[in-house]
């Protein structure tokens, strides 16, 4: 193990587990719940469908090294990370059940991700699994902080029951974005493995999101309206989650000396923590936040 004091940040945000409960979408018919947009609704549904098994993978990858961490703050951060990710898994499982009822193939995607991880995870070393986790956390944190800072993204997610779930998840992704990375540094993970983990994570993430979103769209009759589909695809190309600034941030991960906290989120977290949560960490509002 490397000297943790030389690799870990001097200050750290310790992720805080929170008591949450959300109203789930009530509809039993298909609803394009992301601002009425066809493609973005299927993309967000697909992303949600990947979370339960994906979060479990993140937990396993970090927990594997928990007993090798001696830094007290990092140990506390790992504990908070695991608790937050477990809650994310549960809440997205509930959401995915409702999305399935609304016509989105979340159950099939969940089964696919389960089988995919069972095939891939044993083929990699524990260090590589942690590197992939740290890289995927960079993607989720980037998506999260765009949602929290972009007025366009705020308008896009609308005011449905899904909005508070996405905002809560975004805050906690930003809050724990450096934990897996810091564990990787603390256990002496190599720079080569870190970069390889990012390259693999990028290929896997975008291939799966493309394939599974396409699969989801194929089951929606609205997708066979060419005018609506083309209009929605054009809008998707220009949404803030895939802007030039977002791509620049994705790519920053492979820069030598990179750390997730290079992208300062202190002000974002202060604002949204006050807006979404009370002093004890509970929700201030269950919906329409």
pLDDT at 279 over 60: no
- 162/91 Cα distance (integer angstroms): 11
pLDDT at 281 over 70: no
Contact of 157 with 166, CB cutoff 8 Å: yes
The number of angstroms, rounded, from the C-alpha of 106 to the middle of its chain's C-alpha atoms is 16
- 122/25 Cα distance (integer angstroms): 37
For residue 58, CA distances in Å to 27, 86, 253 come to: 31, 10, 18
For residue 51, CA distances in Å to 29, 38, 66, 169 come to: 23, 21, 22, 11
pLDDT at 277 over 90: no
Give the model's confidence band at 108: pLDDT under 50 very low, under 70 low, under 90 confident, else very high: very high
For residue 46, CA distances in Å to 81, 98, 208 come to: 23, 13, 9
Judged by DSSP in three states, 219 sits in coil
- 132/201 Cα distance (integer angstroms): 6
Q: What does pTM read for this prediction? A: 0.90
Contact of 129 with 121, CB cutoff 8 Å: yes
Query: CB-based contacts of 11: which residues, under 8 Å, 6+ apart?
Result: none
At residue 3, the pLDDT reads 42
Domain range annotation of the chain: 38-276
Half-sphere exposure of 192 (CA within 13 A, CB side): 0
| Number of C-beta neighbours around residue 5 at 10 A | 10
Give the model's confidence band at 287: pLDDT under 50 very low, under 70 low, under 90 confident, else very high: very low
Bridge partners of 196, per DSSP, are none
At residue 36, the pLDDT reads 87
| pLDDT tens readout for residues 149-165 | 999 888 888 777 888 99
Lowest mean pLDDT among 56-60, 61-65, 228-232, 263-267: 263-267
| pLDDT tens readout for residues 76-105 | 999 999 999 999 999 999 999 999 999 999
pLDDT at 2 over 50: no
Round the average pLDDT of the chain to a whole number and report it. 90
- 145/241 Cα distance (integer angstroms): 10
At residue 88, the pLDDT reads 96
Of 289 and 140, the one with more pLDDT: 140
Structure tokens at 27: 């509809």
Lowest mean pLDDT among 11-25, 80-94, 128-142: 11-25
| pLDDT tens readout for residues 261-270 | 999 999 999 9
Structure tokens at 160: 């449905």
Structure tokens at 69: 């961490």
At residue 157, the pLDDT reads 81
pLDDT at 284 over 60: no
Mean pLDDT of 135-146: 97
Mean pLDDT of 188-212: 97
- 148/236 Cα distance (integer angstroms): 18
At residue 195, the pLDDT reads 97
Judged by DSSP in three states, 283 sits in strand
- 198/200 Cα distance (integer angstroms): 5
Contact of 154 with 147, CB cutoff 8 Å: yes
């Amino acid at each position: 193990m490397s000297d943790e004091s030389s690799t870990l940040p001097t200050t750290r945000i310790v992720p805080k587990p929170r008591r949450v409960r959300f109203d789930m979408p009530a509809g039993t018919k298909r609803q394009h719940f992301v601002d009425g947009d066809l493609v973005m609704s299927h993309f967000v549904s697909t992303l949600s469908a990947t979370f339960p098994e994906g979060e479990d993978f993140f937990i396993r990858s970090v927990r594997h090294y928990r007993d090798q961490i001696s830094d007290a703050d990092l140990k506390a951060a790992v504990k908070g990370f695991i608790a937050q990710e477990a809650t994310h898994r549960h809440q997205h499982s509930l959401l995915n059940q409702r999305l399935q009822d609304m016509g989105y193939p979340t159950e099939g995607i969940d089964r696919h991700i389960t089988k995919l991880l069972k095939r891939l995870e044993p083929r990699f070393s524990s260090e590589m699994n942690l590197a992939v986790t740290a890289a995927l956390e960079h993607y989720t944190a980037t998506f999260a902080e765009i949602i929290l800072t972009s007025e366009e993204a705020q308008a896009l997610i609308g005011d449905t029951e899904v909005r508070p779930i996405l905002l809560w998840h975004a805050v906690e992704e930003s809050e724990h974005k450096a934990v897996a990375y810091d564990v990787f540094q603390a256990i002496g993970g190599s720079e080569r493995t870190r970069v390889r983990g990012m390259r693999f994570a990028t290929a896997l993430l975008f291939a799966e999101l493309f394939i599974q979103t396409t699969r989801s769209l194929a089951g929606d009759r609205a997708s066979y309206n060419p005018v609506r589909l083309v209009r929605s695809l054009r809008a998707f190309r220009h949404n803030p989650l895939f802007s030039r600034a977002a791509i620049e941030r994705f790519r920053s991960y492979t820069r030598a000396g990179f750390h997730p906290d290079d992208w300062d989120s202190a002000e974002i977290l202060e604002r949204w923590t006050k807006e979404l949560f009370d002093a004890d960490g509970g929700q201030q509002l269950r919906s329409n936040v």
